[in-house]
Structure formats: C-alpha cells, structure tokens
Amino acid sequence: MRIKIPKSWQLTANDVTDESVYRQRRTLLKNMGFLGAGALMSTPAHSLDWFSKSAKKTFITEPLTYLPQSDKQQILTPESKVISHNNFYEFGASKSDPVNNAQSFQTNPWQLTISGQVENKIILDYDDLTRLFALEERIYRLRCVEAWSMVIPWVGFQLSTLLAKAKPLSSAKYVAFETLEDPEQMPGQASRRLGGGINYPYVEGLRIDEAENPLTLMAVGLYGKTLPPQNGAPIRLVVPWKYGFKSIKSIVGITLLDKQPPTTWNQLAANEYGFYANVNPGVDHPRWSQASERRITTGGLLARNRIDTQMFNGYGEQVAHLYKGMDLRANY
Ligand SMILES: Nc1nc2c(c(=O)[nH]1)N[C@H]1C(S)=C(S)[C@@H](COP(=O)(O)O)O[C@H]1N2
Ligand SMILES: [Mo]
C-alpha cells in the first residue's frame, strides 16, 4: 500500500543544491546496475552487499525529498559527518564513540521479530530486511533533542508496509521497538559508566497511527549504501517529525501492544523526555531552548548554520492531524 504524499513535498534531487547529491545519486544508480561500468569511479566506505543483491527489485530511482520550503536550498549534511557524529549510547555516550567503537559490530546474521497483538507473527532475517520490500531513497531532516540537525538521504521502506504484513489486531494501539542487547559487542551495555546510565535494551514506542504514517521509515541504508553500524545497522527507525531519540537503532523486536510502552529516555528523565517527543520550538527542554538548532553542514567557523526550529520539524502538513485536540505542552 502506498499512500500519496502531498505534491509540494515530492521533489527530486534537482531541488537540493549540493553537488554531492548528484554524485551520490550516480553512485546509487551505478550500484543498482543502471549506469554503465566506468561511468564514474566510486570507492564506497562500506559494504554494498544488500544493494547489489537487490538490483533487480523495484526501486524508485529519484530520491523523494521531504523538506519544507525553507530547507529546499539547504545542502545535505555531508556523509562524512552523518557517519561520524552520532548518538548510539550502546557504543559510548560521546558523539565520536559510535564511529570508533562500532566498526566490528556483527549485523549478519540478524533476526527481527514482529509479534504481540498481530494476526501473523513475522521473523525476518538479514536478507529478508531488504529482499521483501521495495526500497526508496528519501531525504529527511532529523533533529536531535540536543538542538543539532542534519539532512540525510535515507534508504528504506515504510514501516506501514511491514505492519500490514503482520496484520495488527484491532486491540493493537501502540508499537514498541527494542534494540539488540549484546554486552559482549556493545561496550555501553557492559559498563554503566560508558553507557550513560541507561537500562538496556534501548526501547522506544509510537502510537499505531504514528507508526503507520507514510513518513515513518525503516532505514537500511544512507547515501546509497548499506547502513553503517554507528547509524543503526542493519535496520533502524526514522521518525522525522520527532526528536532524534525516537529513531531507535539496530532493532530486533517490534511488538504491537494495547498499552503505551515504556521508552528509554522517558524512564531516565521523565521531566525532560516525553513519550511523544514531537519537535516543538514552543516547548523548551528544561535545561535549554528548543527554538533554534545548529544545522550540521560542511561546517567551518564561518558557516551560518543556526536556523529556526519548525513545529513538527517542518512536517506539520503530514502529521499535525494526528495530534488534533491534544495539549502538546502536557504531551511533550
Ligand atoms: N539503540 C539506540 N538508538 C538510538 C540512540 C541510542 O543511543 N541507542 N540514540 C538516539 C538519538 S538521541 C539520536 S539523535 C539518533 C541519532 O541517529 P544518527 O546517529 O543516525 O544521526 O539515534 C537515536 N537512536
Ligand atoms: Mo538525540
């Protein structure tokens, strides 16, 4: 099932100015077998196994750029920053820890189980994650609660297509997500100090209508390549209208529930991190303002990269209706 997104949001890569978009686009097309050999040189930083294996399946060849008007002239966050400035506390609590500590993380074999209040329980293995779904490339903003943001070309599929295969029962009102628990591979789980005091596994949740919204993506790649471990390989959630912590990485379990599930950051500091976590410039974090953000771009001291934060991270047209009548100050 594909739900149409309003036209104003469906742009092609030509609407984004950064030249690297085109280079990356060509790399992706080449890997998918659409460009002749020798069309360009590419030395990918990480494995392309999934994409080369899935070359024959349906793939929307132009990326869908889901950016608000104010962002259309913005450049993509360079790949080098997307894969080196991360929050993934299982590999350490500082932004440079994940890239340094996650490189030998084993993502194959993998098992993702969809269970709970469903008609069909589903278990997907590593190959299924991309083989079973038509992959799309989508450019989304992602804003961290710590007030930095990026613009990232993700590769993935709509969570709604996976949920539809599992057939949620009418009693299913929430979707809970769980990250792998493996302290032997994840130093932050082995040491409370390294792991920022989180009780693992990392868990997240969405209301079922949020999970089924067409913007909610299961990402298996970025910049046309298999997802690097520090960004949540082999499969992670991307919910672009919510603060980054909702976009849980390296998922092994999806459970349909009749009640709201606990979430990691809410358990750690309930007054700072709510269940909804919708990007909202009007509701500050208790310790800092949420009115503006630092867009991570090509950087440099002279980069003018402080921008106003937008309600729902700019995706109000797609999601504001989900919260009609709700007090978003109380449900932060
Ligand atoms: N399992 C897990 N998922 C996680 C996190 C984490 O620490 N553990 N950090 C979250 C936070 S706070 C953010 S901002 C995003 C960052 O995603 P990125 O590193 O791909 O930009 O991942 C989210 N998903
Ligand atoms: Mo975050």
On average, the pLDDT of the chain sits at: 84
pLDDT by residue (tens digit) across 267-283?
999 999 999 999 999 99
pLDDT by residue (tens digit) across 286-311?
999 999 999 998 766 666 788 999 99
pLDDT by residue (tens digit) across 145-174?
999 999 999 999 999 999 999 999 999 999
Is pLDDT of 187 > 80? Answer: yes
Is pLDDT of 23 > 80? Answer: no
| The model's pTM | 0.86
Å from CA of 170 to ligand 1 middle: 31
Q: Domain coordinates of the chain in residue numbers?
A: 13-323
Amino acid (one-letter) located at 166: A
Phi, psi torsion values for 20, nearest 5 degrees? -65, -25
Nearest CA to ligand 1 atom 6: 88
86 is in an annotated binding site: yes
For position 59, what pLDDT does the model report? 47
Structure tokens at 150: 């990026």
Nearest CA to ligand 1 atom 19: 86
Among all bound ligands, the one having the nearest atom to the CA of 232 is 1
Annotation: CATH topology of 13-323 = Sulfite Oxidase; Chain A, domain 2 (3.90.420)
pLDDT by residue (tens digit) across 67-91?
887 787 778 999 999 999 999 999 9
Structure tokens at 269: 């500091």
Write the DSSP symbol of residue 323.
G
- How much of the chain exceeds pLDDT 70, in percent? 80
Near ion ligand 2, which residues have CB within 5 Å?
87, 144-145, 244-245
pLDDT by residue (tens digit) across 206-252?
999 999 999 999 999 999 889 999 999 999 999 999 999 999 999 99
**Nearest by Cα to 135 from 193, 203, 54, 76:** 54
Residues in contact with ligand 1 by the CB-under-6-Å rule are 86-90, 142, 144, 179, 202, 231-232, 244-245, 247-250
Phi, psi torsion values for 148, nearest 5 degrees? -115, 155
Nearest CA to ligand 1 atom 20: 231
236 is in an annotated binding site: yes
Write the DSSP symbol of residue 17.
-
Alpha-carbon span 213 to 215, nearest angstrom = 5
